[in-house]
């Protein structure tokens, strides 16, 4: 098996580092060394005496940030220098610049559940404000609870593409104008109210403020301030004037209008700043939020200026065994470094148990792992990680340690923590939570029973819930919650489930979980329909996991033991990785397994779906294992069959 070659700068990399053109773009295949070269460029600038704090290294995602840091380490950049470089996501950078500009900390909300009250309020006010001849066009009946998920998706697209801001002055939202933009009138009417509430909020001191920011809002808000005719800053006091020497942008293919607007301003106001952007148009996986390779192509020349384009030709991650099928998949040349060898294998698995058989094989025979490599060099990249309950359960049974990345392990999902809390109280078992999980478990109980999300308005209750010890929660807070909740039907379901579980007989656990009717409780709590369905699936997984235990208490104790084990430092390298594909962007592993490559699960002509597969398949260094159900192979596999 080929050992990882030492990093010796190639001619192309050296050309990129030496190039003094103020605007450099590198479009290259996955694994061609884009992040490494970006890090080399930074290291070169530092060597030449640049102040590291005047170098801004941006990425769009947290894994992208990690990839920079890993590359600095591989290149041997001194840790104190690496720490001084401004490395981060564009969203965090924008949030920090807005804080400076606004002199005020705006709350950042990360979960859809947290913004749901604002969306529901916007639906109500949009319905009221749509009057006169358009009243009949408002298409949402009732509270609109079930529409929240779709609306948030559309809002992200509208913001990412800055679609409304790019309309002519005097643009009004009407059924006709909405239709011309390819959107429906109701969505735009609600969007308008949602943004008015979010952005034109008056604080108790009478100051106009932004109330909160959800994912992507910091970038969008900064972009709209930059693009406004009447900006809240002066040229001398500009939020992006940071005396930067260099701006380096990884994952540039994922740029959308809002991101690009910030980039454009950043380059315009920092005199003499050098720019290097790297990307691969086949890795665009956020097209729904307006990501477009256009910004690396004609868009760049049109809005920023003609760049110097430089190549990185060969992939240095894997050999021809993986590169050739990827060339066929992406219809492009895909040269690979001659010294690298990689293998692809296609396997069939009709069940989670069979898949675990392949994982066991990968760990015992180690066809893709070097003799001294830790198990964390084996990664399973999952298209639908929330459907991995069976897989996780099977791994637990076989005592194969794993780490979930980019998604929450089903054992830490709110409905599972909720059930554990309820059942521990029912069988009077104390101390069933690691401290890190107790708070989310209590919050889950509050949300499922109360049906409302903890927010500033529920501050007092939040405090009681947050501060209660596990014993106090079980003895006082939980009964009070069950008595006082406005959702008395939910309260009855929970009490019935607890009565059944109180027997401590493992045979009663399935009935107790059925009595809970989690799907109904979850519909009130989650924004996304899929999340409510996942709740049901993860509790089914929990029922299956319980079968081999003698009692409910014994099962609960085993879950606690698993929690400690799953977070113990000593096993860090001994856990295989279970990751969403999105979270694996920019990363690489010696052996990658992609399960569920079935026609019904991971297939299709849509560019972002195909790109997601391209991203997943290009993470492997030595071995790529593609797994499908018998007779249901995804069409993507046809590119790999001749291997």
Ligand X SMILES: Nc1ncnc2c1ncn2[C@@H]1O[C@H](COP(=O)(O)OP(=O)(O)OP(=O)(O)O)[C@@H](O)[C@H]1O
Q: Which residue has the tokens 């380059």?
A: 267
Among 3, 8, 456, 459, binds ligand X (CB under 6 A): 8
| Binding span for ligand X by CB under 6 A among 34-42, 169-177, 522-530, 562-570 | 34-42
DSSP designation for 5:
P
Q: Which is nearer to ligand X, 252 or 626 (CB)?
A: 252
| Binding span for ligand X by CB under 6 A among 29-37, 389-397, 477-485, 502-510 | 29-37
Among 16, 36, 216, 220, binds ligand X (CB under 6 A): 36
Tokens of 640: 């790999």
d(C-alpha 601, C-alpha 585), whole Å: 20
| Binding span for ligand X by CB under 6 A among 5-13, 190-198, 535-543, 593-601 | 5-13
CB of 594 vs ligand X, minimal distance in Å = 15
Partners of 458 in the beta sheet?
A: none
Sequence-distant (6+) residues with CB within 8 A of 617 are 322, 325, 326, 329, 592, 594, 624, 626
Q: Which residues in 183-212 contact ligand X (CB under 6 A)?
A: none
Among 23, 116, 316, 575, binds ligand X (CB under 6 A): 316
d(C-alpha 573, C-alpha 74), whole Å: 18
Among 24, 30, 322, 516, binds ligand X (CB under 6 A): 30
Does residue 78 have a known ligand-binding role?
Answer: no
| Binding span for ligand X by CB under 6 A among 28-36, 189-197, 440-448, 520-528 | 28-36
Task: Determine, following the binding rule CB under 6 A, whether residue 622 of this chain makes contact with ligand X.
Answer: no
Sequence-distant (6+) residues with CB within 8 A of 83 are none
CB of 64 vs ligand X, minimal distance in Å = 8
Binding string, 61-80, against ligand X, x = CB under 6 A?
-------------x------
Identify which of 108, 68, 112 has the alpha carbon closest to the alpha carbon of residue 92. Answer: 108
Does residue 34 have a known ligand-binding role?
Answer: yes
| Binding span for ligand X by CB under 6 A among 4-12, 46-54, 391-399, 561-569 | 4-12
CB of 587 vs ligand X, minimal distance in Å = 8
CB of 49 vs ligand X, minimal distance in Å = 24
Task: Determine, following the binding rule CB under 6 A, whether residue 280 of this chain makes contact with ligand X.
Answer: yes
Identify which of 42, 288, 62 has the alpha carbon closest to the alpha carbon of residue 156. Answer: 288
Asked whether the beta carbons of 121 and 153 are under 8 A apart, the reply is: no
Partners of 592 in the beta sheet?
A: 379, 624
| Binding span for ligand X by CB under 6 A among 32-40, 403-411, 467-475, 560-568 | 32-40
Task: Determine, following the binding rule CB under 6 A, whether residue 41 of this chain makes contact with ligand X.
Answer: no
Count of residues interacting with ligand X (CB under 6 A): 21
Q: Which is nearer to ligand X, 160 or 586 (CB)?
A: 586
Does residue 156 have a known ligand-binding role?
Answer: no
Does residue 258 have a known ligand-binding role?
Answer: no
Among 17, 27, 31, 450, binds ligand X (CB under 6 A): 31
Pairing mode, if any, of strands 274-279 and 246-249?
Answer: parallel
d(C-alpha 561, C-alpha 543), whole Å: 18
Does residue 515 have a known ligand-binding role?
Answer: no
- 10 Å CB burial of residue 442 (0-12, 13-18, 19+) is buried
Tokens of 286: 């956020």
Q: How many CB atoms lie within 10 A of CB 308?
A: 15
Instruction: Return the half-sphere exposure (C-beta side, CA atoms, 13 A cut-off) of residue 304.
Output: 28
Binding string, 589-618, against ligand X, x = CB under 6 A?
-----------------------------x
Q: Which residues in 483-542 contact ligand X (CB under 6 A)?
A: none
d(C-alpha 250, C-alpha 41), whole Å: 12
Task: Determine, following the binding rule CB under 6 A, whether residue 33 of this chain makes contact with ligand X.
Answer: yes
Task: Determine, following the binding rule CB under 6 A, whether residue 59 of this chain makes contact with ligand X.
Answer: no
Task: Determine, following the binding rule CB under 6 A, whether residue 579 of this chain makes contact with ligand X.
Answer: no
Asked whether the beta carbons of 378 and 593 are under 8 A apart, the reply is: yes
DSSP secondary structure of 389-432: HHHHHHHHHTT--EEEESS--GGGSHHHHHHHHHHHHHTT----
Q: Which is nearer to ligand X, 217 or 588 (CB)?
A: 588
Does residue 89 have a known ligand-binding role?
Answer: no
Does residue 41 have a known ligand-binding role?
Answer: no
Identify which of 512, 492, 484 has the alpha carbon closest to the alpha carbon of residue 427. Answer: 512
Q: Which is nearer to ligand X, 444 or 593 (CB)?
A: 593
Task: Determine, following the binding rule CB under 6 A, whether residue 18 of this chain makes contact with ligand X.
Answer: no
CB of 368 vs ligand X, minimal distance in Å = 15
| Binding span for ligand X by CB under 6 A among 1-9, 321-329, 510-518, 560-568 | 1-9
Q: Which is nearer to ligand X, 74 or 243 (CB)?
A: 74
Instruction: Return the half-sphere exposure (C-beta side, CA atoms, 13 A cut-off) of residue 43.
Output: 20
Among 16, 23, 27, 34, binds ligand X (CB under 6 A): 34
Sequence-distant (6+) residues with CB within 8 A of 252 are 25, 277, 278, 279, 295, 296
Phi, psi of 456 (to 5 degrees): -60, -35
Asked whether the beta carbons of 374 and 386 are under 8 A apart, the reply is: no
Task: Determine, following the binding rule CB under 6 A, whether residue 32 of this chain makes contact with ligand X.
Answer: yes
d(C-alpha 586, C-alpha 126), whole Å: 41
Task: Determine, following the binding rule CB under 6 A, whether residue 244 of this chain makes contact with ligand X.
Answer: no
Among 23, 224, 317, 628, binds ligand X (CB under 6 A): 317
Sequence-distant (6+) residues with CB within 8 A of 432 are 420, 421, 424, 470, 556, 557, 559, 560
Task: Determine, following the binding rule CB under 6 A, whether residue 286 of this chain makes contact with ligand X.
Answer: no
CB of 613 vs ligand X, minimal distance in Å = 14
User: Helices 529-546 and 389-397 meet at what angle, rounded to 10?
Assistant: 20
Q: Which is nearer to ligand X, 457 or 608 (CB)?
A: 608
Does residue 64 have a known ligand-binding role?
Answer: no
Q: Which helix (H) or strand (E) holds 590?
A: strand 589-594
| Binding span for ligand X by CB under 6 A among 6-14, 126-134, 339-347, 572-580 | 6-14
CB of 223 vs ligand X, minimal distance in Å = 25
Phi, psi of 567 (to 5 degrees): -110, 5
Q: Which helix (H) or strand (E) holds 309?
A: strand 308-309
Gyration radius of the chain's alpha carbons: 26
Task: Determine, following the binding rule CB under 6 A, whether residue 219 of this chain makes contact with ligand X.
Answer: no
CB of 12 vs ligand X, minimal distance in Å = 9
Q: Which residues carry a binding-site annotation for ATP?
A: 28-35
Q: Which residues carry a binding-site annotation?
A: 28-35
Residues that bind ligand X in the complex, under the rule CB under 6 A: 5, 7-10, 13, 28, 30-36, 74, 280, 316-317, 586, 588, 618
């Amino acid at each position: 098996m080929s050992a990882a070659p030492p990093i010796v700068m190639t001619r192309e990399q050296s050309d990129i580092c030496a190039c003094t053109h103020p605007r450099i773009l590198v479009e290259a295949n996955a694994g061609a060394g884009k992040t490494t070269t970006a890090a080399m460029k930074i290291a070169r600038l530092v060597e030449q005496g640049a102040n590291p704090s005047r170098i801004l290294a941006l990425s769009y995602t947290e894994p992208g940030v990690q990839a920079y840091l890993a590359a600095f380490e591989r290149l041997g950049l001194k840790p104190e220098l690496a720490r001084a470089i401004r490395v981060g996501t564009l969203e965090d950078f924008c949030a920090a610049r807005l804080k400076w500009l606004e002199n005020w900390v705006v709350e950042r909300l990360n979960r859809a559940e947290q913004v749901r009250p604002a969306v529901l309020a916007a639906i109500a006010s949009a319905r009221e404000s749509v009057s006169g001849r358009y009243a009949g066009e408002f298409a949402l009946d009732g509270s609109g609870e079930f529409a929240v998920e779709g609306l948030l998706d559309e809002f992200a697209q509208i913001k990412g593409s800055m679609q409304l801001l790019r309309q002519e002055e005097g643009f009004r939202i009407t059924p006709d104008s909405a239709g011309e933009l390819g959107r429906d009138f109701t969505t735009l009417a609600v969007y308008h109210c949602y943004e008015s509430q979010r952005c034109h909020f008056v604080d108790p001191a009478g100051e106009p403020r932004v109330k909160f920011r959800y994912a992507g809002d910091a970038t969008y808000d900064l972009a709209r301030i930059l693009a406004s005719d009447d900006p809240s800053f002066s040229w001398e006091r500009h939020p992006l004037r940071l005396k930067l020497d260099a701006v380096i942008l990884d994952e540039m293919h994922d740029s959308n209008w809002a991101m690009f607007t910030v980039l454009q301003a950043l380059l315009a106001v920092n005199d003499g700043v050098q720019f290097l952007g790297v990307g691969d148009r086949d890795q665009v996986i956020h097209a729904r939020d307006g990501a477009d390779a256009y910004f690396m192509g004609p868009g760049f020349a049109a809005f920023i200026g003609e760049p110097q384009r430089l190549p990185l030709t060969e992939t240095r991650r894997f050999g021809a065994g993986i590169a050739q099928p990827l060339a066929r998949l992406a219809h492009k040349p895909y040269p690979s470094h001659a010294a690298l060898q990689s293998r692809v294998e296609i396997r069939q698995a009709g069940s989670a148990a069979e898949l675990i058989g392949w994982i066991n094989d990968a760990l015992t025979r180690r066809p893709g792992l070097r003799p001294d490599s830790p198990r964390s060099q084996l990664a399973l990249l999952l298209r639908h990680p929330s459907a991995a309950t069976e897989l996780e359960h099977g791994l637990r049974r076989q005592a194969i340690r794993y780490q979930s990345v980019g998604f929450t392990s089903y054992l830490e999902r709110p409905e599972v923590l909720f059930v554990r809390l309820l059942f521990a109280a029912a069988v009077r078992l104390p101390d069933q939570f690691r401290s890190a999980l107790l708070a989310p478990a209590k919050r889950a109980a509050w949300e499922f029973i109360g049906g409302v999300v903890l927010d500033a308005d529920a501050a007092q209750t939040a405090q009681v819930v947050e501060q209660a010890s596990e014993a106090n929660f079980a003895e006082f807070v939980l009964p009070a919650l069950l008595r006082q909740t406005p959702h008395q039907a939910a309260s009855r379901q929970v009490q019935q489930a607890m009565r059944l579980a109180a027997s401590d007989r493992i045979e009663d656990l399935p009935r107790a979980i059925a009595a809970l009717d989690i799907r109904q409780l979850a519909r009130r709590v989650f924004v996304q329909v899929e999340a409510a369905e996942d709740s049901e699936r993860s509790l089914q997984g929990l029922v299956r996991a319980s079968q081999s235990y003698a009692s409910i208490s014994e099962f609960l104790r085993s879950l606690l033991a698993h929690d400690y084990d799953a977070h113990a430092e000593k096993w860090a390298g001994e856990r295989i990785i279970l990751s969403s594909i999105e979270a694996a962007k920019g990363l690489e592993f010696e052996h990658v397994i992609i399960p569920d490559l079935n026609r019904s699960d991971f297939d299709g002509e849509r560019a972002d779906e195909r790109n997601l597969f391209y991203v997943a398949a290009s993470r492997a260094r030595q071995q790529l294992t593609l797994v499908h159900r018998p007779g249901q192979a995804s069409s993507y596999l046809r590119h790999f069959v001749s291997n």
